[in-house]
Structure 1
Amino acid sequence: MADATASLKESGHRAVMTSPRAAGDDLATASVSPISDEAQAAYSVFCRTALFAPAQSPQWVRHWTEQIRPDAILATLAAGGRPVLSLALEIERHGPFRIARFMGGRHANGNFAAVDPARLDEITCSQIRTLFDAVAAARPDIDVVALQRLLPDFDGTANPLAKLPSFPSPNLSLAVDLDGGFEAVLSRMSGKRKKKKHRSQTRKFEAAGGFRRIQAHTPEEVHSLLYAFFAMKEFRFRRMGIANVFGDPQVRIFFHKLFAEALKESEPPFLLHGLEVAGKLRAVTGSSVGGRRLICEFGAISEDDLAHASPGDFLFFENIAEACRDGFSVYDFSVGDEPYKRQWCDIEMKHLDVLVPLTLKGRMLASGLRGNAGIKAFIKNSPKIWSLTKALRRKTAGKRPPSDED
C-alpha cells in the first residue's frame, strides 16, 4: 500500500503489518492504514481487476470520504506482495462503543469487499482473521467490526467473508430474474395484467399533459432528479414517522457527487432515471451496476394528484425492460420487502451479517447486536406484527422526532 506507514504516523495511529502466513505458495500479510490520498490511489489500482459491490467501489469510497469525512481505514490482505482482499471501513461511535462498518452506513447494501477473483480460492478463514488481528493492533479502540448485509455470492462468486461465522440479516432482498428477456419476465409475472395497466397509465399520463422517461446524462440532470427525489423522500419519511436517512446535507452532497462523477465514465456505474408528467417529476430511481446485476438503490414518487396512477410502477416497468435490453441477468430491488417489489420479484436473497469482536466490550456488543437482529427479523417476518408496527409508527408521526433506531 502506498506510503501506508507515513499515513498512519500522520494520523496518530500505528502502522501494522502482520506476520506472514502461508497462502498456497505465497506468504499472506495484512496491513491497515487510514484512508489517505495514497491509500485510495492504491485501492483504485487494485479495483481495476478486482471484484466488488458498488458500495465498495473506489468512487463510492472517495466521495463518501470527501463529503462525510469519517474516521476511516483501509484493511488489506496481500499474498506474494499483491493484494487479494481489501476492506474500506468507517468507524462510528455508539455510546461507549466504536464499531467499524462498511463505508456508507445504511446506504451500503448487498456488500461484497474488493477481492482478486483469480486468487479467491487462496483466501482462508485463518487469513481473514489475520486481517482483523491487524485491525485490532492498528486501532485498539475499535470494539467490533460489523460486516452487515453481505451478499452470499457475487454473480456466482462466493463471498470470502461468508467463511466467517455469520447469521441472516433481518431484511430480505428481492430481485427479478431477467433470463429470457422482458417478454419472458412478463410471462412469469402476470404479464397480461402488467401490460394492460401500463397502457392505462400511458393514457392517463398523456391526458394529464404528456410524459417522458428521463435518464440523467448531464450534471444538471443529476441535480434536478436528486433534488426532486430528496423532497419526495423527506415528505414520505415524515408521514411514516421514521428517520430520513437522506436528510443529512453532506449525505445529499455525496449522492450528487457520486452520480454526477459517474457520467465521466464510458459505462457509468451509477444511474438516475425519472418519470416526468406534465413537466413535473413524479417518480425517481437511483441505480448502481454490480457485475451482471442492475441494482435499484433507492426510489420515490411524488404524492400528488397523479399518485393514484402509480408513476413508480410505470417507471419500474420501463427500467426492467431496459435492463433486459442492456443484457443484465438480474434486476435487484435491494433490501426491503414491499408489495410493489413482490409484483415483480421471483428471487429472494438473504444477506448475511458477520460480527467480529476485537475487545471484551466488543464481545458484549456483538451479542447484543445479534439479539437485536433476531428481534427485527422476527417482527419483519411476522405480517401481523409488522403491520401493527408500521401503523403505530405512522400514528406517532409528528408527535416526536423520528430517531435512527426507528
Structure 2
Amino acid sequence: MAMMTAVIEDAAAPAQPSGAISRIAHVEVLQDLHAAEPIWRALQQPPHLSTPYQRFELLAAWQRHVGAAAQVSPFIVVASDAERQPLLLLPLGLERGFGLRIARFLGGKHTTFNMALWQQEFAQRAGAADLAALLAGLRGHADKADVLALQQQPLSWNGVVNPLSLLPQQPSVNDCPVLTMAPGAAPLSLISNSFRRRLMSKEKKLQPLAGYRYGIASSDAEIDAVLDWFFAVKPLRMAAQNLPDVFAEPGVAGFIREACHARRDGGGRAIDIHALRCDDEVIAIFAGVADGQRFSMMFNTYTLSDSARYSPGLILMRNIVDHYAALGYSALDLGIGSDDYKRLFCKSDEPIFDSFVALTARGRLGAMAMSAAARAKHVVKHSPGLMRALQLARGALRR
C-alpha cells in the first residue's frame, strides 16, 4: 500500500477525535542551546524516550563545529503541560533554503536516526490531539520557520512507537540494516558458524602481530591516537573509491573529536570507538553510539597496510556483535545504506520515515517540493538499474 504524502498543510493537520484534549498547553522555541540544556538533559535520562543520536553532548558539539559554520541556528522546540512540565523536546536547527526558513533535526548527515526526546509516559499515550496542539503552537512561531523537514525518523524506539509517526509520512531515502539480538541469544544465531570460521581463519594471520587486540578506546590519549590515524587514512580510502571526503568539510573533524571525548551521562563517551590494534598500528575502527539497548555505527575505516588483506573490518564487526550481545543489547545497526558488508551481519531493515510539515502558506510549495525530491531519491536508491546509472555518471564527472 502506498504511503501518504508527507506534506502537512493547515487544512491537513492530524485528525483528532471530537472533544479530544491535548496535554500540551505550551509550545516554546529556544534559540540558545544552554537555555535548553537543563530540559534536554532531563529528557535524555531513562526512563524517558530518545535515541543516543539526540544526546545534548553530541548535538551541542555538532552545532558548535558544523552547524554554526553552515549558518544553522538552534531552533529547540519544547512542549509542556499546564504545569510547565516538559513533555517533549525537538532538537532542531533553522536554515535557509529555496527562499524558505527550514527547521531540520540537528546533526545533519552524521545522525542515522532523528527523533524528539519524550517524557516516556506521554510518548506512550500521545495521540492526534497532541500533535495538532504541537503544530498549532509552532504556527504561533511562524515568523521563525516556514517548513519542518523531519527526516530519518524511526517508526519506534526501544519498543515504543514514535508519536511523530502519526503524522503523514513517506519512506526515507535510505534503509538502515539492523541486527536484532534476542536476550541470551546463542552466538551462532547472530553470526553463522561458517562465517565465524572464515573470520577466524583470517584472524589467525593477524594474531601473530605484536600486541594484537580488540578494545574500546577509553583514555583521552587512546582516543586522540586513534582519531589521528583515522583522519590520515579515511581521506585516502574515500579517494580510492572516488568519493568526496566528507570529513574534510568545515567543522567535521572538530565535532568528531569533541564528541568522542565528551562524557555522557551514566559513563562512557558520546561516541565510542571500537578498534583492532597492534603495537605498530591501528588496523580497523568502528565508531558509534550506544544507549544500553542498541549500538549504532557512525563511521569506520581500516588500515592501508598488508593487514587489510585479512578483512579486519569484518573481524572487528564480529567482536562488536559479541561484545554487545554479552551486555544484553537487543539490536545493532551499521548505519543507513545497503553496503554489502552490512548485509553479512544485518539481515533486516529498520523502517525509517520522513515528514515534511508546512507551517506557513509560503512553506506549502517548499514542503511539497522537498517531499517529491525525497520520494524520487528513494525510487533511485531502490532501483539497481537507476543506481548503477547514477554511479557511472558520478564516476565520469569526477575523472
Equivalent-residue separation in structure 2 for 1:302 and 1:149 (angstroms)? 31
Partner AA of 2:36 in structure 1: A
2:112–2:335: 8 Å Cα contact kept in structure 1? yes
Answering whether residue 148 of structure 2 is matched by residue 151 of structure 1, we say no
Post-superposition shift, 1:369? 1.7
Answering whether residue 70 of structure 2 is matched by residue 67 of structure 1, we say no
SS, match of residue 360 in structure 1 = coil
| Within-5 A mapping of 1:203-214 | 203-207=204-208, 211-214=212-215
Deviates further, 358-367 or 85-94: 358-367
SS, match of residue 365 in structure 1 = helix
1:24-72: CA deviation from partner (whole Å, max 9, x where unpaired) = 6956221112124222223223333521112211212322233333301
SS, match of residue 168 in structure 2 = coil
Deviates further, 356-365 or 319-328: 356-365
Equivalent-residue separation in structure 2 for 1:326 and 1:250 (angstroms)? 34
SS, match of residue 237 in structure 2 = helix
1:246-303: CA deviation from partner (whole Å, max 9, x where unpaired) = 2234221112111212278534453111112461112111111135111112222234
Partner AA of 1:364 in structure 2: L
1:119-159: CA deviation from partner (whole Å, max 9, x where unpaired) = 22443334324333433433524221111000100111010
| Within-5 A mapping of 1:230-269 | 230-262=231-263, 265-269=266-270
1:228 matched residue in structure 2: 229
Q: 1:108 aligns with which of 104, 107, 111?
A: 111
2:80 matched residue in structure 1: 78
1:56 matched residue in structure 2: 54
2:43–2:88: 8 Å Cα contact kept in structure 1? no
Post-superposition shift, 1:344? 1.1
Equivalent-residue separation in structure 2 for 1:371 and 1:25 (angstroms)? 31
Equivalent-residue separation in structure 2 for 1:263 and 1:164 (angstroms)? 31
Change (3 A) 1:187 1:248: same
Equivalent-residue separation in structure 2 for 1:135 and 1:288 (angstroms)? 30
1:141-200: CA deviation from partner (whole Å, max 9, x where unpaired) = 422111100010011101011111111101111111222546x353464x2222222222
SS, match of residue 335 in structure 1 = coil
SS, match of residue 246 in structure 1 = helix
Change (3 A) 1:136 1:100: same
Equivalent-residue separation in structure 2 for 1:103 and 1:147 (angstroms)? 10
2:28 matched residue in structure 1: 31
Post-superposition shift, 1:354? 0.9
1:148–1:354: 8 Å Cα contact kept in structure 2? yes
Partner AA of 1:96 in structure 2: G
- Consecutive unaligned residues in structure 1, runs of 5 or more: 1-21, 400-406
Deviates further, 169-178 or 221-230: 221-230
Post-superposition shift, 1:231? 3.0
1:2-45: CA deviation from partner (whole Å, max 9, x where unpaired) = xxxxxxxxxxxxxxxxxxxx986956221112124222223223
Equivalent-residue separation in structure 2 for 1:28 and 1:175 (angstroms)? 37
| Within-5 A mapping of 1:380-391 | 380-391=381-392
Post-superposition shift, 1:395? 4.1
| Within-5 A mapping of 1:161-176 | 161-176=164-179
Provide TM-score, normalisation by structure 1: 0.84
2:302–2:313: 8 Å Cα contact kept in structure 1? yes
Equivalent-residue separation in structure 1 for 2:24 and 2:172 (angstroms)? 34
| Within-5 A mapping of 1:267-282 | 267-277=268-278, 279-282=280-283
Post-superposition shift, 1:89? 0.6
Change (3 A) 1:230 1:137: farther
Partner AA of 1:110 in structure 2: F
Partner AA of 1:56 in structure 2: Q
Equivalent-residue separation in structure 2 for 1:374 and 1:35 (angstroms)? 33
Deviates further, 171-180 or 127-136: 127-136
1:55–1:103: 8 Å Cα contact kept in structure 2? no
1:125 matched residue in structure 2: 128
1:211–1:279: 8 Å Cα contact kept in structure 2? no
Deviates further, 335-344 or 218-227: 218-227
Equivalent-residue separation in structure 2 for 1:97 and 1:246 (angstroms)? 28
1:150–1:353: 8 Å Cα contact kept in structure 2? yes
Q: CA RMSD in A?
A: 2.4
Answering whether residue 96 of structure 2 is matched by residue 93 of structure 1, we say yes
Equivalent-residue separation in structure 1 for 2:280 and 2:359 (angstroms)? 54
SS, match of residue 86 in structure 1 = strand
Equivalent-residue separation in structure 2 for 1:212 and 1:55 (angstroms)? 28
Change (3 A) 1:207 1:160: same
Post-superposition shift, 1:95? 4.2
1:45 matched residue in structure 2: 42
Partner AA of 1:40 in structure 2: E
Equivalent-residue separation in structure 2 for 1:358 and 1:283 (angstroms)? 45
Provide TM-score, normalisation by structure 2: 0.86
Post-superposition shift, 1:388? 3.6
- Consecutive unaligned residues in structure 2, runs of 5 or more: 1-18
Q: 2:188 aligns with which of 186, 189, 199?
A: 186
Partner AA of 1:84 in structure 2: L
Partner AA of 2:147 in structure 1: V
Post-superposition shift, 1:78? 1.0
1:289 matched residue in structure 2: 290
Higher RCO (CA 8 Å, separation ≥ 6 residues) = 2
2:142–2:360: 8 Å Cα contact kept in structure 1? no
